[in-house]
Amino acid sequence: MKKVTIAYPKIALLAFVLVSILFFISSCTSTNEPAANEVFIQGMAFSPATLTVTAGTTVKWTNKDGVAHTVTCDTGLFDSGNVGANGTYSHAFTTAGTYNYHCTYHSSMTAKVVVN
Ligand SMILES: [Cu+2]
């Protein structure tokens, strides 16, 4: 009886360690590419530069750079304001169209969201 109660936590601990290792490996590999409907701000650029989504989609931007950027629509429809390192910004696109946007700090940073 006593051996059973001692052995169980050891198995649970082993399982926990294995799951933790698997989660750590999967989280490492998945952070290198943006998820669906996600744009990475990385290397002073938006990636992908053109993201195509369907109407009603919420797009998320994640800043992978060490400096602040903005996600600012050319027509003023949306504006993230400052998005710092590791910061995120989300916007829901409800109407079909092409939405060109840029970073107010870096004029070379331009991209677009195409909503179908
Ligand atoms: Cu920028």
Q: In what order do the strands lie in the sheet with 46-47?
A: 46-47, 38-41, 57-63, 88-93
Task: Give distance in angstroms: CA of 34 to centre of ligand 1.
Answer: 18
Task: Give distance in angstroms: CA of 13 to centre of ligand 1.
Answer: 45
pLDDT digits (tens, 9 = 90+) for 19-61: 554 555 455 444 679 999 999 999 999 999 999 999 999 999 9
pLDDT tier, 14 (very low <50, low <70, confident <90, very high otherwise): low
Asked whether residue 12 carries a pLDDT value surpassing 50, the answer given is yes
Task: Give distance in angstroms: CA of 97 to centre of ligand 1.
Answer: 24
Q: What percent of the chain has pLDDT over 70?
A: 73
Task: Give distance in angstroms: CA of 14 to centre of ligand 1.
Answer: 45
**pLDDT number for residue 4:** 53
**pLDDT number for residue 32:** 79
pLDDT digits (tens, 9 = 90+) for 67-81: 999 999 999 999 999
Task: Give distance in angstroms: CA of 67 to centre of ligand 1.
Answer: 8
Task: Give distance in angstroms: CA of 10 to centre of ligand 1.
Answer: 50
pTM of the model: 0.74
pLDDT digits (tens, 9 = 90+) for 80-116: 999 999 999 999 999 999 999 999 999 999 999 999 9
Residues 6+ positions from 91 with CB-CB distance below 8 Å: 58, 59, 71, 78, 80
Task: Give distance in angstroms: CA of 44 to centre of ligand 1.
Answer: 6
